[in-house]
């Protein structure tokens, strides 16, 4: 009887370990591997697709926050997403006198909790096609499905497509997006 219980326990343990390691394996983003054991900043600084975002996070003084325990869900605009903004916008935002505005925009891309693609899809389904996500900036984002793609709508009606989802971090999850999201106040 004890042998059966021990065997069952080890089978469950192995199954759990396999599931966790399978669900949270490293993923390549911007030419670099993103490791689930590293935090958001430790991974993001290695992505060639997110250098503008990393520079903006540094300028806003948010590095320490995004290295914190979290968990956070970050909708991370690519360099191409920032390039869609009007000429001079990024250069203006990273100036010290615009730190509050930059912080507001960046924290609008962050939701408390760990919402991977499955969790987002489940919320969208439960919301009959859309899910409202409260950002740490205090605004709302709306998540929807467009075919098999998750799209995020900002307060101004702009939309961002999730390009790479489920980039797991020790303190959350990142979804790489193709457009910078804007809060209502911007």
Query: What does the DSSP assignment read for 126-158?
Result: HTTSEEEEEBTTS-EEEEEEETTEEEEE-TTS-
3-class state of residue 184 by DSSP: coil
Cβ neighbors of 121 (< 8 A, separation 6 or more) are: 145, 150
How many CB atoms within 10 Å of residue 3? 7
Return the pLDDT at 186: 62
pLDDT digits (tens, 9 = 90+) for 95-121: 999 999 999 999 999 999 999 999 999
Return the pLDDT at 7: 40
- Decide which of 13 and 60 is more confident: 60
pLDDT digits (tens, 9 = 90+) for 5-36: 444 433 333 333 333 433 578 776 766 667 77
Beta strands in 41-158 (DSSP E): 72-77, 110-112, 130-134, 140-146, 149-153
Give the residue extent of every domain in the chain: 26-177
In CATH terms, the fold of domain 26-177 is: FAS1 domain (2.30.180)
Beta strands in the chain (DSSP E): 27-29, 32-34, 72-77, 110-112, 130-134, 140-146, 149-153, 159-169, 172-177
Q: Computed from CA positions of residues 159, 93, 134, 46, in that sequence, does the dihedral angle turn out positive or negative?
A: positive
Mean pLDDT of 69-79: 90
Return the pLDDT at 13: 34
pLDDT band at 70 (very low <50, low <70, confident <90, very high): confident
| Contact assessment for residue 172 and residue 70, using Cβ atoms and an 8 Å cutoff | yes
Return the pLDDT at 163: 93
Return the pLDDT at 31: 67
Preceding omega of 13 cis (within 30 degrees of 0): no
pLDDT band at 169 (very low <50, low <70, confident <90, very high): confident
């Amino acid at each position: 009887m004890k042998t059966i219980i021990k065997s069952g326990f080890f089978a469950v343990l192995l199954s759990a370990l396999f599931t966790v390691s399978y669900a949270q394996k490293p993923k390549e983003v911007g030419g670099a591997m993103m490791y689930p054991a590293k935090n958001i900043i430790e991974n993001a600084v290695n992505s060639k697709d997110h250098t503008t975002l990393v520079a903006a996070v540094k300028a806003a003084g948010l590095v320490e926050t995004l290295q914190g325990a979290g968990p956070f869900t970050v909708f991370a605009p690519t360099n191409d997403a920032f390039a869609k903004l009007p000429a001079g916008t990024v250069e203006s935002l990273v100036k010290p006198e615009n730190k509050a505005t930059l912080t507001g925009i960046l924290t609008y891309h962050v939701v408390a909790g760990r919402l991977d693609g499955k969790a987002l899809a489940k919320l969208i389904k439960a919301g009959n096609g859309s899910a409202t996500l409260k950002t740490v900036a205090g605004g709302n984002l709306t998540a929807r499905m467009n075919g098999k793609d998750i799209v995020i709508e900002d307060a101004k009606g702009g939309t961002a497509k999730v390009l790479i989802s489920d980039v797991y971090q020790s303190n959350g999850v990142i979804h790489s997006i193709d457009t910078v999201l804007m809060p209502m106040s911007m």
